Amino acid sequence: MPGRPRKRAAILRAAAEVFLREGYERASVDEIAALADVAKRTVYNHLADKEALFLAAFEAAFDRVNADMLAALDEFPDDPGDLEHDLIAFGRKLAGCHLDPEVTALRQLMSSEATRHPELVSSWRDRGPGRVAALLAERLGKVTALRIDDPVRAAHHFMALSTYEVQFRATDARKPSAKQFDAAVGDGVKAFLRAYDRHA
Amino acid sequence: MPGRPRKRAAILRAAAEVFLREGYERASVDEIAALADVAKRTVYNHLADKEALFLAAFEAAFDRVNADMLAALDEFPDDPGDLEHDLIAFGRKLAGCHLDPEVTALRQLMSSEATRHPELVSSWRDRGPGRVAALLAERLGKVTALRIDDPVRAAHHFMALSTYEVQFRATDARKPSAKQFDAAVGDGVKAFLRAYDRHA
DNA sequence: TGCAAATTAACCTCTGCGGTATACTTTGAC
DNA sequence: GTCAAAGTATACCGCAGAGGTTAATTTGCA
């Protein structure tokens, strides 16, 4: 592996770690350089200034996390055998993503810089949950057992019901137990089915 | 009105405004003092340091917006005549709170300081949405037209369905139109009723 | 192997902010 | 009206961090 891109990757990884841990203002370029095991000058060699460093690191971290999010969709079979079971499995995967510390830290970081960088928010929404909703809508629309007028809205309802409570407690000091987690997701999915299943 | 408490109130109001606009780190005590029309020394006279100033201002701002949130519950009648209509009215009020710029700014501020002040998050949750959920659960449990096993969970489902999409777009540059807003809330409430109404 | 580009370490400067000190003025309760 | 408590203006200190400079060194590639 060539030297230059390796340095750049190390810088972005370190920057993501420090920015996520400290927030934009509290993060220092010195610490990032030290963590990347690189001279500060090298950082400024790759990225013009702290701002550019932040945006690039955020972008990279988002891509990484978002891949997991979209991968959850593979959990959802094209032709579900046991619909409730499959939906619960998918809902767990989806809700589980929201518990990932990197995800919650990224959300917080985005939130705190939302005023200065509104494009971060819209990009996150469109490429993240918005994308998940669109893809999920496509799949739900094909399930004949469901009566769905507006697939995108139904997808949102599914996401809301399966993840609301988990997100609610995601920032809590002590995470919900596996039992609470499963119950929250399971009950959410069951409510979704009562609202959308033809014979429920 | 006596002078001293008036100064204190002015300081807290100014602090809230600046902290909400700039975030903790970017906010400067100088600006807060100027906005409160007060000498910097006076600020430090009332609050020990920037940290205490922040916590006090946050607390005050939270109490203010949270009162609106809890007031939304009054929208919900003890004995609903037209359940769907009443639920939609309540849902709109609830979702509307999430569009208030001060509310979104407060959430962002809490988010960005969550690591340093986890107690802010749990206090927010317990006294805010958690409280709403508990009170709403109480009311929902009394509505005989609904089949509800776990009232608190049902309350969460109601909150999720009626506010998810609005919160989803709350940080968007251009707010959703009234039509979109009403449709999102209305469809959410209808889904809730399909899931919980005895004869649906 | 040689050379050009990248990297490094060690400074340096400049700015902004938290917090304090001083010396003076205002305010309000008795 | 007095006088102590509170407020004000201004200057100041210390510190931390962004970003630049330089000169020496390493690295990758022809």
Give the tens place of pLDDT for each residue, A113-145. Answer: 999 999 999 999 999 999 999 999 999 999 999
pLDDT band at A199 (very low <50, low <70, confident <90, very high): confident
Query: Contact, A119 vs A125, CB < 8 A?
Result: no
Of the candidates B114, B150, B168, the beta carbon closest to that of A171 is on B114
- The residue type found at A26 is R
Same fold, B1-47 and B57-196: no
What is the Cα–Cα distance from B187 to B101, expressed in whole angstroms?
24
What would the pLDDT profile of B55-74 be if each residue is shown by its tens digit? Answer: 999 999 999 999 999 999 98
* Residue given tokens 């208030």 in the structure block: B100
Which 3 state secondary structure label does DSSP give B197? Answer: strand
Residues of chain B in contact with residue A192, where contact means CB-CB under 8 angstroms, are 195
Q: What is the largest CA-CA distance in chain A?
A: 66
- pLDDT computed for residue A80 by the predictor: 78
Which 3 state secondary structure label does DSSP give A51? Answer: helix
What is the Cα–Cα distance from B13 to A70, expressed in whole angstroms?
43
CB atoms within 10 A of CB B164: 22
pLDDT band at B81 (very low <50, low <70, confident <90, very high): confident
What would the pLDDT profile of B32-43 be if each residue is shown by its tens digit? Answer: 999 999 999 999
- The structural architecture, per CATH, of the domain A1-47 is Orthogonal Bundle (1.10)
What is the Cα–Cα distance from B96 to A38, expressed in whole angstroms?
49
Higher per-residue confidence, A173 vs B72:
B72
User: Where are the domains positioned within chain B?
Assistant: 1-47, 57-196
Higher per-residue confidence, B2 vs A16:
A16
- pLDDT computed for residue A7 by the predictor: 87
- pLDDT computed for residue A97 by the predictor: 94
What would the pLDDT profile of A143-156 be if each residue is shown by its tens digit? Answer: 999 999 999 999 99
- The structural architecture, per CATH, of the domain B57-196 is Orthogonal Bundle (1.10)
Residue B173 has pLDDT above 90, yes or no: no
Chain A residues near any Cβ of chain B (below 8 Å): 21, 23-26, 107-109, 111-112, 114-115, 118, 121-122, 125, 129, 150, 153, 156-157, 159-161, 164-165, 168-169, 171-173, 184, 187-188, 191-192, 194-196
Residue B116 has pLDDT above 60, yes or no: yes
Exposure string of A113-129, with b = 16+ CB inside 10 Å and e = fewer, is bbbebeebbbbbbeebb
Residue A2 has pLDDT above 50, yes or no: no
- pLDDT computed for residue A9 by the predictor: 94
Q: Check A108 against B118: CB less than 8 A apart.
A: no
What would the pLDDT profile of A48-105 be if each residue is shown by its tens digit? Answer: 999 999 999 999 999 999 998 999 898 888 787 899 999 999 999 999 999 999 999 9
What would the pLDDT profile of B158-171 be if each residue is shown by its tens digit? Answer: 999 999 999 988 87
Residue A3 has pLDDT above 70, yes or no: no
pTM for this predicted structure: 0.92
Average pLDDT, rounded, for chain A: 93
Residue B118 has pLDDT above 80, yes or no: yes
Residues of chain A in contact with residue B196, where contact means CB-CB under 8 angstroms, are 191, 194
